Amino acid sequence: MKKLNSKAFVTIGMLSAFSYVLMLLNFPLPGFPSFLKVDFSDIPAIIAAMIMGPVAGILVELLKNILDLLTTGSETGVPVGHIANFVTGILFVLTVYFIYLKVKSKKGLAVALVTSTIVTAVVMSVLNYYVFLPMYYIFLGYSAEDLPLIFAVTAILPFNLVKGAVISIVFILLFAKMNKWIHKQQVAYK
């Protein structure tokens, strides 16, 4: 594991701020509930993980969500959505990081992004079914009988698949332009 120095923490701070801004530029997808929104805030976290290691990616995800919680708040008074976003981001970023670490090529990156999309979508559907949706209902005062758990499969699973695909396509396009710079930064942060 790479040791993080003061230069790394400054870079993590800058990537977190950029990630936070990208989080604010979210948008809904047609056909999905309006509160499920796509943003590109996981891309700086993937870059941080690729350059400085998995802890850097996790820190970018954490700081992005803390900044968003402090500035926009939470609709329930409890940051369930921010916790879910943090877990989703960690799943996506770490899966990409560890697969790409084993197969450092464009094909390896594509496999990492596809696998990450599938893993994130499936795991988040299960977590939404058992953890996050029940938490929302508890904090909003609904009973367990009102909980449409089928929602985790009919909306959250396909949404996360589409969101992962969109993020993957954008990241592959960016990576094609940033590949040499990322490799140069990896050497600088060793």
- To the nearest 10 degrees (0 to 180), the angle between helices 133-140 and 80-102 is 170
Residue 35: predicted pLDDT? 79
Q: Which of 54-58, 80-84, 89-93, 111-115 has the lowest mean pLDDT?
A: 80-84
Q: Is residue 1 part of a domain?
A: no
pLDDT of 121-145, one tens digit each? Answer: 999 988 988 888 888 777 777 665 6
Q: Between 118 and 183, whose confidence is greater?
A: 118
Interatomic CA distance for residues 182 and 168, integer angstroms: 17
* Element housing 28 (H / E): strand 27-28
Q: How many domains does the chain have?
A: 1
Q: What is the mean pLDDT of residues 162-173?
A: 96
User: Helix 157-188 and helix 42-52: axis angle, to 10°?
Assistant: 40
Question: Amino acid identity of 76?
Answer: T
Angle, helices 6-24/42-52, rounded to nearest 10 degrees: 160
- 5-46: pLDDT as tens digits: 888 899 999 999 999 999 999 999 998 888 789 999 999 999
Q: Which CATH number belongs to the domain containing residue 160 in this structure?
A: 1.10.1760.20
Hey, which of 126-140, 148-162, 168-182 has the most confident mean pLDDT?
168-182
User: Is 151 part of any domain?
Assistant: yes
What is residue 149's predicted lDDT score, i.e. its pLDDT?
A: 66
Distance CA 66, CA 118 (A): 26
121 within 8 A of 157, measured Cβ to Cβ: yes
Of 9-18, 53-62, 84-93, 140-149, the one with minimum mean pLDDT is 140-149
Structural domain span for residue 121: 6-188
DSSP at 150: T
Query: Mean pLDDT over all residues of the chain?
Result: 88
- Among residues 31, 43, 17, 34, the alpha carbon closest in space to that of 166 is found at 43
Residue 20 domain-assigned (yes or no): yes
